[in-house]
Structure 1
């Protein structure tokens, strides 16, 4: 029952986040100082970026918050420490800014290409822009928790009697 409730909560947050991201980026493209920087045929690129930003934030933020309160007295699980949760949230917001920058750059294709072609190219540019970030060996910079086993309890009894 708890899994179903958590799943529905995360799915709803992801969907509402995507809608909020679209509203935010549409407002940026139409009513803000960026309206002069975004060509009319590139406006859909910001909307695509808004879907990614809102959906990703809506998916991961509830999971980070649930990681803070994970486990019970009877069945303890590894919880996120507040510093880890803050670092994860900061990384998520940094990635959101990165996606918005990529979508603003992809929107500039609208100056040279028609809207349909700009939209198709923006989907690929924004959708695959995270791949270089995934190929960076973050553990060499000390930015991962290599000693932590996610999902496993930290019991000494789990290896057998002893």
Structure 2
């Protein structure tokens, strides 16, 4: 029965296959993004530990709250480290394989805005983790770690609920909605 339904389908309806060079380029890009994400996370941990130990904030961070600050550093570093190569690749990306221009290149001003937004979001995550680290004054370290994971993990929720249209940033919510409709 299934053989009969395939018999009427033309051969041109199949999806085009990627070339070997395209597969190699995709794998290289994936490795680059994953490596920069991991290295960014390690750099974020290093920076937040320096922030907790050797900066003006060191007296304000309790010993039981240091791990919450490290969790924020992981979020900050991974976000910036992951989006930096994606934005750079977007600068050099071209049109799709059919040449219709559905995936245009990023302009430098758009790329800088995207990176500034990612950087500000990463700083927001560090601020959230500093606030959660203050729980170390009254709670044991295990509960502060648990609170830090939830606070940093769900730190994007308040930003998603902001009325971006009031700030003149209509494209933020509409781009998110259009990408959901496309799927």
The normalised TM-score by structure 2 is 0.75
Deviations 1:29-77 (A, max 9, x none): 1111111010000000110000000011111111111111102697454
* Among 24, 27, 38, the residue aligned to 2:61: 38
**Aligned residue in 1 for 2:19:** none
2:71 to 33, 40, 48: 48
Alignment of 1:63 onto 2:86: yes
What is the CA-CA distance between 1:139 and the residue it aligns to?
A: 5.0
| Superposed counterparts of 1:67-146, under 5 Å | 67-71=90-94, 75=99, 77-139=103-165, 141-144=168-171
- Give the secondary structure class of the aligned counterpart of 1:91: helix
Counterpart secondary structure, 1:71: coil
The structure whose residues are more often helix, as a share, is: 2
Q: Quick one: higher RCO (CA 8 Å, sep 6+), 1 or 2?
A: 1
**Offset from partner CA, 1:1-42 (integer Å, 9 cap, x none):** 111000000000000000000011011111111110100000
Structural RMSD (CA): 2.1
Bigger CA radius of gyration: 2
Q: Structure 1: which 5+ runs fail to align?
A: 151-162
Gaps of 5+ in 2: 1-23
Question: Any idea what SS the aligned residue of 1:61 has?
Answer: helix
Residues 2-11 or 64-73, more deviating: 64-73
- Residue number in structure 2 paired with 1:159: none
> Where in structure 2 are the equivalents of 1:8-19 lying within 5 Å?
8-19=31-42
The number of residues matched between the two structures is 149
